[in-house]
A = this chain, B = another copy of it.
Amino acid sequence: MPLVDKLDRFMPLTNAERDAISSCIEPEREMQAGGYLVRQGEPYDGSYVMLDGWSVRQKYLRDGRRQVMNFLIRGDAVGFAATFFKEADHSVMALTDIVYARMNHERLMRLIADNPRLGTAMFWSVALEEAMLRERIVGLGQRSAREHMAHLIMEMVARQRHAGIEGAAVHLLPINQILLSDALGISPVHTNRTIRRLVLDRLISTSPRGIEVLDEERLAETGDFDGQFLHEAGED
Protein backbone atom coordinates (compact mmCIF):
# COMPACT_ATOMS: atom_id res chain seq x y z
CA MET A 1 0.00 0.00 0.00
CA PRO A 2 1.49 3.36 -1.05
CA LEU A 3 0.94 5.07 2.29
CA VAL A 4 2.52 2.19 4.17
CA ASP A 5 5.52 2.26 1.83
CA LYS A 6 5.89 5.98 2.40
CA LEU A 7 5.86 5.66 6.18
CA ASP A 8 8.17 2.67 5.93
CA ARG A 9 10.68 4.86 4.15
CA PHE A 10 10.92 6.94 7.29
CA MET A 11 10.67 4.27 9.93
CA PRO A 12 10.90 0.61 9.02
CA LEU A 13 7.62 -0.98 10.08
CA THR A 14 6.98 -4.49 11.29
CA ASN A 15 4.61 -6.64 9.30
CA ALA A 16 2.08 -6.28 12.07
CA GLU A 17 2.33 -2.51 11.84
CA ARG A 18 2.00 -2.57 8.08
CA ASP A 19 -1.09 -4.72 8.38
CA ALA A 20 -2.49 -2.47 11.05
CA ILE A 21 -2.32 0.59 8.86
CA SER A 22 -3.60 -1.29 5.84
CA SER A 23 -6.61 -2.37 7.85
CA CYS A 24 -7.63 1.27 8.13
CA ILE A 25 -7.72 1.70 4.38
CA GLU A 26 -11.13 1.10 2.90
CA PRO A 27 -11.67 -0.40 -0.56
CA GLU A 28 -10.29 1.43 -3.58
CA ARG A 29 -12.41 3.99 -5.34
CA GLU A 30 -12.02 5.84 -8.58
CA MET A 31 -12.75 9.40 -9.53
CA GLN A 32 -12.71 11.19 -12.85
CA ALA A 33 -10.46 14.11 -13.57
CA GLY A 34 -12.13 17.27 -12.31
CA GLY A 35 -13.80 15.61 -9.32
CA TYR A 36 -13.27 16.90 -5.79
CA LEU A 37 -11.93 15.07 -2.76
CA VAL A 38 -12.30 18.19 -0.65
CA ARG A 39 -14.41 21.23 -1.44
CA GLN A 40 -13.45 24.64 -0.15
CA GLY A 41 -16.16 25.94 2.16
CA GLU A 42 -17.76 22.56 2.76
CA PRO A 43 -17.19 20.15 5.64
CA TYR A 44 -14.52 17.49 5.33
CA ASP A 45 -16.06 14.23 4.30
CA GLY A 46 -13.27 12.12 5.75
CA SER A 47 -9.64 11.59 5.00
CA TYR A 48 -8.16 9.83 2.02
CA VAL A 49 -5.02 8.36 0.52
CA MET A 50 -4.05 8.81 -3.09
CA LEU A 51 -3.31 5.48 -4.76
CA ASP A 52 -2.84 6.51 -8.37
CA GLY A 53 -3.06 9.59 -10.56
CA TRP A 54 -2.59 13.25 -9.77
CA SER A 55 -4.56 15.72 -7.66
CA VAL A 56 -4.06 19.35 -6.81
CA ARG A 57 -4.54 21.21 -3.56
CA GLN A 58 -5.75 24.71 -4.34
CA LYS A 59 -7.47 27.71 -2.86
CA TYR A 60 -9.67 30.28 -4.55
CA LEU A 61 -9.95 33.88 -3.49
CA ARG A 62 -13.29 35.60 -3.57
CA ASP A 63 -12.45 37.46 -6.77
CA GLY A 64 -11.57 34.27 -8.65
CA ARG A 65 -7.81 34.24 -8.30
CA ARG A 66 -6.49 30.77 -7.56
CA GLN A 67 -3.38 29.62 -5.76
CA VAL A 68 -2.12 26.06 -6.12
CA MET A 69 -0.58 24.80 -2.88
CA ASN A 70 0.72 21.48 -3.98
CA PHE A 71 0.30 18.49 -6.20
CA LEU A 72 -0.63 15.13 -4.73
CA ILE A 73 0.51 11.75 -5.99
CA ARG A 74 0.42 8.13 -4.89
CA GLY A 75 0.85 7.74 -1.16
CA ASP A 76 -0.11 11.29 -0.24
CA ALA A 77 -2.70 11.72 2.47
CA VAL A 78 -5.58 14.16 2.10
CA GLY A 79 -7.18 15.85 5.05
CA PHE A 80 -5.64 13.64 7.67
CA ALA A 81 -4.92 16.35 10.21
CA ALA A 82 -7.58 18.72 8.99
CA THR A 83 -10.71 16.60 9.30
CA PHE A 84 -11.18 18.21 12.64
CA PHE A 85 -11.97 21.54 11.05
CA LYS A 86 -15.60 22.21 10.53
CA GLU A 87 -15.09 23.33 6.97
CA ALA A 88 -12.31 23.14 4.44
CA ASP A 89 -10.34 26.32 3.68
CA HIS A 90 -9.17 24.87 0.35
CA SER A 91 -10.04 22.25 -2.24
CA VAL A 92 -8.43 19.05 -3.43
CA MET A 93 -9.29 18.29 -7.03
CA ALA A 94 -8.46 15.30 -9.22
CA LEU A 95 -6.19 16.39 -12.05
CA THR A 96 -6.28 13.07 -13.87
CA ASP A 97 -8.56 10.12 -13.33
CA ILE A 98 -7.44 8.91 -9.93
CA VAL A 99 -7.60 5.87 -7.69
CA TYR A 100 -7.91 6.61 -4.01
CA ALA A 101 -9.20 5.14 -0.78
CA ARG A 102 -10.93 6.43 2.26
CA MET A 103 -9.17 6.08 5.61
CA ASN A 104 -11.13 4.92 8.59
CA HIS A 105 -10.12 7.77 10.79
CA GLU A 106 -11.45 6.49 14.09
CA ARG A 107 -9.83 3.15 13.64
CA LEU A 108 -6.57 4.82 12.71
CA MET A 109 -6.65 7.03 15.78
CA ARG A 110 -7.28 3.96 17.92
CA LEU A 111 -4.32 2.19 16.34
CA ILE A 112 -2.13 5.19 16.99
CA ALA A 113 -3.23 5.06 20.59
CA ASP A 114 -2.26 1.40 20.84
CA ASN A 115 1.02 1.76 19.02
CA PRO A 116 2.93 4.97 19.60
CA ARG A 117 5.33 4.12 16.79
CA LEU A 118 2.47 4.47 14.35
CA GLY A 119 1.64 7.81 15.87
CA THR A 120 5.19 8.92 15.32
CA ALA A 121 5.03 7.79 11.71
CA MET A 122 1.80 9.65 11.07
CA PHE A 123 3.15 12.80 12.67
CA TRP A 124 6.16 12.49 10.44
CA SER A 125 3.92 12.35 7.41
CA VAL A 126 2.14 15.51 8.52
CA ALA A 127 5.46 17.23 9.17
CA LEU A 128 6.60 16.28 5.68
CA GLU A 129 3.56 17.97 4.23
CA GLU A 130 4.41 21.06 6.23
CA ALA A 131 7.96 21.01 4.95
CA MET A 132 6.68 21.03 1.38
CA LEU A 133 4.44 24.00 2.13
CA ARG A 134 7.41 25.85 3.59
CA GLU A 135 9.38 25.14 0.47
CA ARG A 136 6.63 26.62 -1.64
CA ILE A 137 6.70 29.72 0.59
CA VAL A 138 10.42 30.11 0.05
CA GLY A 139 9.97 29.67 -3.68
CA LEU A 140 7.21 32.23 -3.91
CA GLY A 141 8.88 34.73 -1.64
CA GLN A 142 12.53 34.60 -2.57
CA ARG A 143 13.13 32.76 -5.79
CA SER A 144 12.84 34.14 -9.30
CA ALA A 145 10.33 32.54 -11.65
CA ARG A 146 13.09 30.51 -13.28
CA GLU A 147 14.52 29.27 -9.99
CA HIS A 148 11.11 28.49 -8.58
CA MET A 149 10.01 26.57 -11.64
CA ALA A 150 13.21 24.52 -11.68
CA HIS A 151 12.76 23.79 -8.01
CA LEU A 152 9.15 22.72 -8.37
CA ILE A 153 9.92 20.39 -11.26
CA MET A 154 12.78 18.82 -9.34
CA GLU A 155 10.57 18.44 -6.29
CA MET A 156 7.99 16.54 -8.31
CA VAL A 157 10.64 14.33 -9.87
CA ALA A 158 12.07 13.50 -6.45
CA ARG A 159 8.66 12.85 -4.94
CA GLN A 160 7.62 10.57 -7.76
CA ARG A 161 10.85 8.66 -7.36
CA HIS A 162 10.23 8.28 -3.63
CA ALA A 163 6.72 7.13 -4.35
CA GLY A 164 8.18 4.41 -6.51
CA ILE A 165 6.88 5.78 -9.78
CA GLU A 166 9.62 4.76 -12.19
CA GLY A 167 10.27 4.47 -15.88
CA ALA A 168 9.33 6.80 -18.68
CA ALA A 169 6.49 8.32 -16.70
CA VAL A 170 8.79 9.59 -14.00
CA HIS A 171 9.43 12.95 -15.51
CA LEU A 172 6.15 13.67 -17.18
CA LEU A 173 3.87 16.04 -15.40
CA PRO A 174 0.20 16.23 -16.33
CA ILE A 175 0.25 19.90 -15.48
CA ASN A 176 -0.67 22.54 -18.03
CA GLN A 177 0.81 26.01 -18.09
CA ILE A 178 -2.19 27.69 -16.52
CA LEU A 179 -2.05 25.36 -13.54
CA LEU A 180 1.67 25.86 -13.30
CA SER A 181 1.26 29.61 -13.36
CA ASP A 182 -1.18 29.41 -10.44
CA ALA A 183 1.33 27.31 -8.54
CA LEU A 184 4.23 29.68 -9.16
CA GLY A 185 2.14 32.79 -8.62
CA ILE A 186 3.01 34.26 -12.03
CA SER A 187 1.03 34.98 -15.18
CA PRO A 188 0.49 32.29 -17.83
CA VAL A 189 2.45 34.35 -20.33
CA HIS A 190 5.44 34.62 -18.07
CA THR A 191 5.15 30.92 -17.26
CA ASN A 192 5.39 30.16 -20.93
CA ARG A 193 8.43 32.35 -21.43
CA THR A 194 10.14 30.80 -18.44
CA ILE A 195 9.49 27.29 -19.72
CA ARG A 196 10.76 28.24 -23.18
CA ARG A 197 13.97 29.51 -21.68
CA LEU A 198 14.50 26.29 -19.73
CA VAL A 199 13.89 24.35 -22.95
CA LEU A 200 16.31 26.57 -24.83
CA ASP A 201 18.92 25.85 -22.18
CA ARG A 202 18.29 22.12 -22.66
CA LEU A 203 17.30 21.59 -19.03
CA ILE A 204 13.86 20.24 -19.90
CA SER A 205 11.82 19.43 -22.96
CA THR A 206 8.11 19.72 -23.51
CA SER A 207 5.68 17.50 -25.34
CA PRO A 208 1.91 17.49 -25.58
CA ARG A 209 1.83 15.26 -22.52
CA GLY A 210 3.90 17.41 -20.24
CA ILE A 211 7.41 18.31 -19.19
CA GLU A 212 10.39 16.00 -19.31
CA VAL A 213 13.61 16.60 -17.45
CA LEU A 214 16.72 16.42 -19.60
CA ASP A 215 19.45 17.42 -17.18
CA GLU A 216 18.60 16.77 -13.55
CA GLU A 217 21.86 18.03 -12.20
CA ARG A 218 21.78 21.42 -13.83
CA LEU A 219 18.06 21.79 -13.20
CA ALA A 220 18.62 21.13 -9.50
CA GLU A 221 21.40 23.68 -9.55
CA THR A 222 19.36 26.42 -11.17
CA GLY A 223 16.54 25.72 -8.72
CA ASP A 224 18.85 25.54 -5.69
CA PHE A 225 17.18 22.20 -5.01
CA ASP A 226 18.78 19.79 -2.62
CA GLY A 227 16.01 17.47 -1.58
CA GLN A 228 17.05 17.66 2.03
CA PHE A 229 13.70 19.11 2.90
CA LEU A 230 12.04 15.90 1.78
CA HIS A 231 13.90 14.29 4.65
CA GLU A 232 14.69 11.30 2.59
CA ALA A 233 16.55 9.32 5.18
CA GLY A 234 14.81 8.67 8.47
CA GLU A 235 16.44 9.65 11.72
CA ASP A 236 17.42 6.18 12.81
Contacts and interface: CB of A to CB of B under 8 A. Distances in A.
Interface of A is mostly: helix
B119 A109 contact: yes
Contact of A89 (B109, B131, B142): B131
Interface stretch (A92-100, A193-201, A207-215, A228-236): A228-236
Number of copies: 2
A133 interface: yes
Interface in A38-71: 59, 61-63, 65-67, 69
B133 A185 contact: no
Interface residues of A, number: 52
A54 to B, nearest CB: 19
Report which residue of A110, A112, A131, A138 has the largest number of chain B beta carbons within 10 angstroms of its beta carbon: A138
A119 B127 contact: no
A136 interface: yes
A142 B109 contact: no
A30 B109 CA distance: 35
Name which of A66, A67, A224, A229 has the most chain B CB atoms within 10 A of its CB. A67
A33 interface: no
Interface string A124-139: 1011011101101110
B141 A67 contact: yes
Interface string A150-184: 00000000000000000000000000000000111
Contact of A224 (B62, B82, B87, B228): B62
Nearest to A184: B141
Given A129-B130, A136-B137, A142-B185, 17 more contacts: A10-B84, A61-B142, A62-B224, A65-B142, A66-B142, A67-B141, A69-B134, A69-B137, A81-B124, A81-B126, A84-B120, A85-B235, A109-B116, A110-B116, A119-B119, A140-B185, A141-B182
